[in-house]
Amino acid sequence: MVLEDYKTLGNHEQWAELWGYGKSLTNYISVDRSFQLSALHGFFVKVELDTLTGRPLSKKAFKGGKRLDKYY
C-alpha cells in the first residue's frame, strides 16, 4: 500500500491499518501535547495523543521531510 491508497481509506480502516501493520518508531512530548511516530508501508504516520489519557486524538500521514525534524 502506498500513501495515496492509505489516504483513500475511511478513518476506521486507516486506524486498523496503522495498529495492525505500523511500527512505532519514537515519541515526542511537548508541554501540552504528545505525539507518536510510526512507519507504515514506506511512509510515516504521526499520531497526536491526549497527554492525560493516552487516547489518540488525530493522525497525519506523510512521506518525510521537515515533519520528521522534531524527532531527531
Residue 24 corresponds to which cell in the numbers above? 512505532
Looking at 3.30.67, 3.40.50, 1.10.1660, 1.10.10, the CATH number of the domain 3-71 comes to 3.30.67
Residue 19 phi/psi, 5-degree rounding, is -70, -30
Give the residue-averaged pLDDT of 16-26: 96
Q: What is the pLDDT of residues 28-59, one digit of tens each?
A: 888 778 999 999 999 999 999 988 888 999 99
Residue 43 corresponds to which cell in the numbers above? 511512509
Spatial separation of the C-alpha atoms in residues 33 and 23, rounded to whole Å:
21
Q: Are 35 and 48 in contact (CB under 8 A)?
A: yes
Q: Are 50 and 36 in contact (CB under 8 A)?
A: no
CA angle 29-38-9, nearest 5°?
120
pTM: 0.87
Looking at the predicted structure, is the pLDDT value of residue 72 above 70? no
